[in-house]
Structure 1
């Protein structure tokens, strides 16, 4: 079966994580275990210092990894985040943020991933994230 479209992955993500819809997170690309996701600028996601907050960046990273997973699971995935390590390297500023997620290893029980976050229009890395997801076997 073909991989779901970007629009389908975005719809699944927004339904499964309503916060992603509330924040307006967009799936720009998702194929073969790699996804590019965008968090639009929102003043309510800023922290003191006029930069996107850590919780918003972590949420973006988490849904970006799910988009990458959905691209290889025919849009059906109930895996859950087990661990997430975030290294904040520099402030993003008051701009949209891009998250590029990729599956590093997909096993039967665990999935390992990496996400790079950047301020839109910048090559500088805002945050480097590694994550592990526990695979939830479908009932049946």
Structure 2
């Protein structure tokens, strides 16, 4: 399988279609069926106590699978999440970026299924694991 979008094209797509969150994320690595996406942690991503909030990590996982899917199928803004599940496994390091290591497990005509492990920058053990399914619009 080959990529249909580069990291630069994905970033430009996010800036154009989702300007409200585009600056929160950075693509660290892109390969067929895989992406490493970084949440650039800011004050707005923290919960009381200074750790990264669950909704921020869920957003990272959702965005990672979305971008991995678009990288493979091309820019289709109407691909949407149809299912999502997340397990929070340990407390993230205070104020550190979160890196999502995402791989697509299945990419079909109408569904994409992916898995994401999330790590606090500098930590070896994952802080969360997510599974998402995306619906791909008809072409």
What TM-score comes out, normalization by structure 1 length? 0.88
Whether the aligned pair in 2 keeps the contact of 1:20 and 1:63 (CA below 8 Å) is no
d(CA) in 2 for partners of 1:2, 1:22: 23
Per-residue CA deviation, residues 27-46 of structure 1 (Å, 9 max, x unaligned), is 12222110011111201210
Higher mean displacement: 1-10 or 56-65: 1-10
Q: What secondary structure sits across from 1:30 in the alignment?
A: strand
Please give the residue correspondences for 1:39-78 in structure 2 after superposition, counting only pairs within 5 Å. Answer: 39-76=39-76, 78=78
- C-alpha RMSD of matched pairs (Å): 1.7
Structure 2 unaligned segments of length 5 or more: list them: none
C-alpha displacement at 1:80, in angstroms?
0.6
C-alpha displacement at 1:135, in angstroms?
1.5
Match of 2:84 in 1: 84
Distance 1:78 1:33, change over 3 A: farther
Match of 2:138 in 1: 137
Number of matched pairs: 137
Match of 1:11 in 2: 12
Structure 1 unaligned segments of length 5 or more: list them: none
d(CA) in 2 for partners of 1:98, 1:14: 20
